Chains A and B, each alone.
Chain A
Amino acid sequence: MGPIVRDRDGWVTRPLLLFCLTSTLITIVAGFVQVNFGTYSMTTLEVARAVTEPTILFNLDAWTGFLFGTELPEMEPGELIVWTIRLPRVFVAIIAGATLAVSGAIFQAVTRNELASPFILGVSAGAGFAVLATLVVFSGLAPFLPFIAAIGGTVAFLIVYVIAWKNGTSPVRLVLAGVIVNMVFQSLQQGLFFFADDLGIVQTAISWLTGSLTGTGWPEVRIAILPATLAIAIALAGSRQLNLLLLGEQTARSLGMRIELVRFLLSAVAILAASVAISVAGIVSFFGLVVPHIVRNTIGGDYRQLMIGCLFAGPALMVTADVGARLALGGTQMPVGVVTGLIGGPYFLYLMRKQRSMGEL
């Protein structure tokens, strides 16, 4: 190899930077709105002061308290509400948004199908079933719900992979196997609802299955932050491989890519990312499907750009959607999945109308 000259004509383009900047701004504004309102009423100025309070912002003890669950330093009630209830929910939304978007982008490349989403390969149905089974049958395991959800998703994905495997897999077989596994698991879920004897359990289950950020806080951030960082780092590193996968299987193989290995590893990363989101927010519908599309339509299909774009757009949209979910109806909070579904569905229909050819299936 010769010496490394700069990367080719910089894929870090002005539209990409602008896109990321706008997304960041939206995230900040929406996050601030989220922090601003709630049953404990505070003025905007008070909130602003609490958020930027240097004795918390630059206090190592406070952060170890947030991130590792150690004792928190003394805070005023307003600060406490902002820093332990409202802000962490925004952080959870950021993490869930970023991981779901990245996961969706990976699945769309791996299956070479723009209609793919983190949940098409059985992840959502598997996770949902695991959650329901835990709540209804093994209620003693409820504290481990996030992990159980992730395990359920992974198991379902492995089943999909095994079904689709026949001397290697193909995108179409993967998607079809995903549909089948989804159906089976959904039937199992519906069956389980009959065994739930407590309305509270049913409600918890439904909030999981629709995706909700209600009541999330630092513990969720703690669960999610490490796997999310890991998944995102690998996804970014793998964006060049994703680009190559998009050229088609034959081409990628003849260029020396070990297709099955790369596809499996990247799918695993996508599952990890989706599981992170599922474990803290439940199954937020349409999100992983729509966000990569928005990014693709705005800055193009190069995965090196797309991944970065998703990383910024995902949080912006998730935080905004959660503001809607929490504040739109005044007193009652909706699950955020209802909002993303209501907005994402029609947007996706609009996309399908606009682009005549979408995906291969």
Chain B
Amino acid sequence: MNRGNANDGRTATSESTDAQAANDRSTTSTDPNSMQDGSSGEYERTREQAIDEDGVVVDSALAGDRLELSYPTAEETIVDCERLDIPEGEVTALVGPNGSGKSTLLKALSSHLEPEEGVVRLRGDELQSFGQKELARKLGLLSQENDPVGSITVEDLAYYGRYPHRGFFEGISAEDREAVDRAIDLAGVDHLRDTELGQLSGGQKQLAWIAMVLAQDTDILLLDEPTTFLDLHHQFRVLETVRQLNEQKDVTVAVVLHDISQAARFADYLIALHDGVLYDWGPPEEIVTEQLLADVFGVEASVQYDPEIQILPKRALSERRR
């Protein structure tokens, strides 16, 4: 993937000081009225494709169009997003402060939350047009918090991942067995196979859940904060597993990450959300700027791009300055 000239992206973003302006620019779609600035052509997007800041065309595995998301129990719109793309075969990280709508967005992308307005398309087909099991064979989701399940073993859990592949009365096939073995191996929990979940540490538990979504054998994987609450070692284990999966099996990954520095190093693409609005979208080297950190996260930070992207947060900006 050609990341282009990192500097261009950075200048482009830092020129626009207003978050809303940045958002308008990067989500400009087929609506001709909103193409006022000179670079309009660059940002034109079609249903299954997105064009990043350097004009590189990428296929979208998942795309959201004019999304307005809210929960049935609450009136207010939590996410309002003109256009959103999860590029095929890449790792995309959703970043943003608490309450910016990352998890909500992920729920909409996985059909757990029906959008108030707009549609989500999976390779061109509306999510709603898939049967639930059919969708579960294409798209896996690991929720942020899993209900405590004590008495089943890691292997049992991984076998549940095969649920969408099995008929109501069907037993376990050789294929199921292979998928589970592969998943357990990839998640690195082979030695814990017969251990009950209740006896595992937080990090081991998370790896066990990851083994379950891996056994699901989908080519799109959505992960909601898989590293939060884990120690550093397990954070890396989880991310390395995801990276491996992406590289070896070309799985498209969208992951909500809490830590922007981690996200910037780890992901191919970033989607930065602020107050339910898409602030910016693109490869980390292009969109992570001091401006973005100030606008989105409310921190003063310096960003180094050489030899690799590194974010050094300094202090929190006062609410008024944001």
Q: CB within 8 Å of B: which residues of A?
A: 1-8, 112, 166-167, 237, 243-244, 246-251, 253-258, 300-302
Contact = CB atoms under 8 A, between A and B. Distances in A.
A256 B160 contact: no
17 contacts: A4-B171, A5-B171, A7-B172, A247-B147, A247-B157, A248-B143, A249-B147, A250-B143, A254-B143, A255-B161, A255-B163, A255-B164, A255-B216, A256-B134, A301-B150, A302-B151, A302-B156
Contacts of B176: 2
Interface string B95-113: 0000000000000001010
B172 A256 contact: no
A301 to B, nearest CB: 4
Interface in B8-37: none
Contacts of B171: 4-7
Contact of B174 (A2, A246, A247): A2
B151 A300 contact: yes
B163 A257 contact: yes
A301 B160 CA distance: 15
Contacts of B143: 248, 250-251, 254
- A244, A250, A257: most-surrounded residue (chain B CB, <10 A): A250
A7 B132 CA distance: 25
Given A112-B147, A255-B216, 11 more contacts: A1-B166, A1-B175, A166-B72, A237-B169, A247-B147, A255-B160, A255-B161, A256-B133, A258-B132, A300-B151, A301-B150
B149 A1 contact: no
Interface residues of B, number: 44
B112 to A, nearest CB: 6
Q: Which 7 A-B pairs have CB atoms at the shortest separation, nearest pair first? A: A256-B136, A248-B147, A256-B133, A256-B164, A254-B141, A2-B173, A167-B72
Contact of B146 (A4, A251, A256, A257): A251
Contacts of B175: 1-2
B165 interface: yes
A313 B70 CA distance: 47
B284 interface: no
Interface of B: 72-73, 110, 112, 131-137, 140-143, 146-147, 149-152, 156-157, 159-161, 163-177, 212-213, 216
Contacts, number: 95
Contacts of B174: 2-3, 5
A7 B176 CA distance: 11
B146 A250 contact: yes
A248 B146 contact: yes
B306 to A, nearest CB: 40
A248 B112 CA distance: 14
B149 A253 contact: no
A253 B134 CA distance: 12
Contacts of A302: 151-152, 156
Contacts of B160: 243-244, 247, 251, 255
Given A247-B149, A250-B112, A254-B136, A1 B172 contact: no
Nearest to A248: B147
Given A5-B172, A255-B161, A256-B132, A301 B110 contact: no
A248 B176 CA distance: 22
Given A3-B173, A247-B160, A258-B132, A253 B72 contact: no
B112 A253 contact: yes
Contacts of A243: 160
Contacts of B170: 1, 4
Contact of B147 (A4, A166, A251): A251
A300 B198 CA distance: 13
Contacts of B161: 255
A244 B163 contact: yes
Contacts of A4: 170-173
B105 to A, nearest CB: 15
A301 B151 contact: yes
B78 to A, nearest CB: 15
Contacts of A167: 72-73
A257 B161 CA distance: 11
